Amino acid sequence: MAKDEKGRAPRRPIWTGSIAIGLVNVPVKLHAMVFDKGIHFRFLHKDDGQPLRYEKVCTKDNKVVPWESVVKGYETTKDRFVVFEKAELDAAKPESNQTIRLQRFVDYLSIDPIYLDRPYLLAPNKSDDAYSLLSTTLKKLGKAGIGRVTMRDKEYPVLIYPYKNALVLTTLRYPHEIADPSQLEELKDIKEPSSEELALAKKIVSDLSGEFDITDYRDTYQEKLTALIEKKLKGEPIVAEKPVQAEAKELMVALQETLKQLKKK
Amino acid sequence: MSQALTKVEFTNLDKVLYAKVGIKKTQVIEYYIRIAPKMLHLLAGRPLSLTRYPDGVDKQGFYEKDIPRGTPSWVETFKRYSETAQRDINYVVCNDLDTLLWLANLAALEMHMTLSTTDSFMKPNLVLVDLDPKPPLGYDDVVEVALLLKERLETPGLRPYVKTSGKKGLHIVIPIVPVYTFQQTREFVHQLGKRLAMESDIVAADFSRSRKAGKVFIDYLQNSHGRTMVCPYSLRATPSATVSMPLEWKQITKGFNPEEFNIATVPAIDSDPWKDLLQNSQKLE
């Protein structure tokens, strides 16, 4: 069994609703469970160290296009688009729902991990008894429930299963989002190995077999970067200056005058 | 602009807050910047209640006593248990320019202050006589009652100050030494109103008569713990962006229009009639 490494505390719920099984309802709150801890960089101007921003530029005349003149287009074939207004797209969005109906229960281990997308932590929402009953039952049976949820304008199939005395909801990928290996040219004529080769390979693998422990793995690139940043911080980091908006400039003139008057008092 | 003149980061400066007169948030902030030298000392040490209009005065505003979420740590606050809310309320106390501008940026157009300061919260240092006319009475009638009141107060040697409410009424304010309870100041104003009601047909001194048409109600009830008065120089949420304007008594004459005092006109006015208000604490004997 893997050693427990202390994870981080979940943040505020991003969705509330309930899990429905038959006539039973379990109100739940959904928390984010995985976090991107990567180190991010911003682009700066090399000469003065100020942050750069992106602008939308028309590919025809190279002029900057303001936001109100931007629409969305779907590229049907190269350089041919069908254009959509925001209202048209909004009308097609699915409505968020408040219930995840579990239609079927499956053996958790029978699910190919390739379908597992993003896990979320489910917390009971004043429903401790029903929550505990559901998670304990699934744990004892080694089962996971399958349902469907609409969150943030997207509809997902989801899997609900027990994890460390809690329930986890993992969104699933659709088959069309996953590459089919049989389509890959190199995989079309793969030969079976000989029985001697196979026996030797199996021996090597079983000699190296052990328990899975995620703490054996560290993000060494991240560690190196963190050390580098610490080092640079001891030197002189470049401080970004906030540009003052045009309207705010007039306020600054008035402010200077008032500050002068207040000082006199 | 590298040296920051204020800790406040102004946002949505283009938002129209007074649609009828086309006043945007940037002009509201500029107003409070310009009026701050006259206004700040009058607000010092007084817990504020705010009426905020983030979508302008044409849309529903909201009343706020407790400090909003995201209040910066440098904003001074005053914690007090509220009987009505049944919990502790953290009031904003505006002791500096940054706090005033932070409030302006929140579209806290109307600022209301307590009549006492935090260092003697149960003993007020201002007495408020709030004159509120009921239709068909108008400003001329309020002026008449105000001048009567001034005479009554000056006879025993008191010095009252006056400001427009920014709406229909006038506020007469007497700065006092903070030795009286709210009950005493309330009773003082109530008695004053009763005496005046005997002399003038248009004065109502009691709440029961206050809603009668054709009366100017001398509202003594404002002199209570937890009650507030609109701050001198605060904007009001009226269509023409009027100001609760401190005035000289000689300006209180029939025929004057309180709407003259608004966001556009007030910053250009030089006089500062309430400058010495807090240096003139008086006794109510």
Residue B236, pLDDT score: 96
Residue B130, pLDDT score: 93
Whether the per-residue pLDDT at A2 is higher than 50: the answer is no
Residue B2, pLDDT score: 34
Rounded to 5°, the CA angle B13-B19-B25 comes to 20
Neighbouring C-beta atoms of residue B154, cutoff 10 Å? 12
* Residue A248 with chain B: CB contacts under 8 Å: 10, 13, 26
Whether the per-residue pLDDT at A5 is higher than 60: the answer is no
Asked if B122 and B184 count as a contact pair (C-beta separation under 8 A), the reply is no
Residue A246, pLDDT score: 64
| DSSP H or E stretch at residue A135 | helix A128-141
Query: Is B268 in CB contact (< 8 Å) with chain A?
Result: no
User: Which of A36-45, A117-126, A230-239, B110-119 shows the lowest per-residue confidence on average (mean pLDDT)?
Assistant: A230-239
Whether the per-residue pLDDT at A105 is higher than 90: the answer is yes
Residue B110, pLDDT score: 95
Please give the sequence-ordered ranges of beta strands (E in DSSP) within B42-183, or none if there are none.
Answer: 47-52, 62-64, 77-82, 87-93, 110-114, 126-133, 161-164, 170-175
* Residue A247 with chain B: CB contacts under 8 Å: 13-14, 26
* Residue A250 with chain B: CB contacts under 8 Å: 26, 30
Residue A241, pLDDT score: 59
Query: Is B13 in CB contact (< 8 Å) with chain A?
Result: yes
Whole-angstrom CA distances from B283 to A200, B120, B175, B184, B279 are 105, 16, 9, 12, 13
pLDDT tens-digit profile of A183-203?
Answer: 888 888 888 888 888 888 888
Token digits of residue A142: 């080694």
Strand, coil or helix: A134 = helix
* Residue A263 with chain B: CB contacts under 8 Å: none
Mean pLDDT by 10 residues, chain B (285 residues): 72 91 93 95 95 91 85 91 82 95 94 95 95 86 93 92 94 96 94 90 78 81 91 96 96 89 93 94 88
User: Which of A153-157, A251-255, B12-16, B180-184 shows the lowest per-residue confidence on average (mean pLDDT)?
Assistant: A153-157
List, in order of start, the domains of chain A with CATH numbers.
Answer: 15-37+94-177 (2.40.290.10), 181-208 (no CATH)
| CA atoms of B81 and B226, how far apart (whole Å) | 11
Helix axes B97-105, B25-43, angle to 10 degrees: 140
pLDDT tens-digit profile of A19-60?
Answer: 998 888 899 999 988 887 788 888 888 888 888 988 889 988
Query: Is B94 in CB contact (< 8 Å) with chain A?
Result: no
B-chain residue closest to A251, CA distance: B30
Cis peptide upstream of residue A181 (ω within 30 degrees of 0): no
Whole-angstrom CA distances from B43 to A109, B40, B54, B93 are 68, 5, 22, 8
Asked if A124 and A133 count as a contact pair (C-beta separation under 8 A), the reply is no
Residue B3, pLDDT score: 45
Strand, coil or helix: B218 = strand
Token digits of residue B18: 């007074």
Specify the DSSP class assigned to residue B160: -
User: Which of A3-17, A251-265, B15-29 shows the lowest per-residue confidence on average (mean pLDDT)?
Assistant: A3-17
Q: Which residue from A25, A32, A33 is spatially nearest to A126, judged by alpha carbons?
A: A25
Q: Which residue from A44, A68, A46, A45 is spatially nearest to A56, judged by alpha carbons?
A: A68
Query: Is B85 in CB contact (< 8 Å) with chain A?
Result: no
pLDDT tens-digit profile of A214-229?
Answer: 888 888 888 888 888 8
Where is pLDDT greater, at A10 or A15?
A: A15
Asked if B13 and A248 come within 8 Å (Cβ–Cβ), the reply is yes
* Residue B233 with chain A: CB contacts under 8 Å: none
| CA atoms of B68 and B226, how far apart (whole Å) | 19
Q: What is the mean pLDDT of chain A?
A: 84
Asked if A261 and B37 come within 8 Å (Cβ–Cβ), the reply is yes
Residue A245, pLDDT score: 63
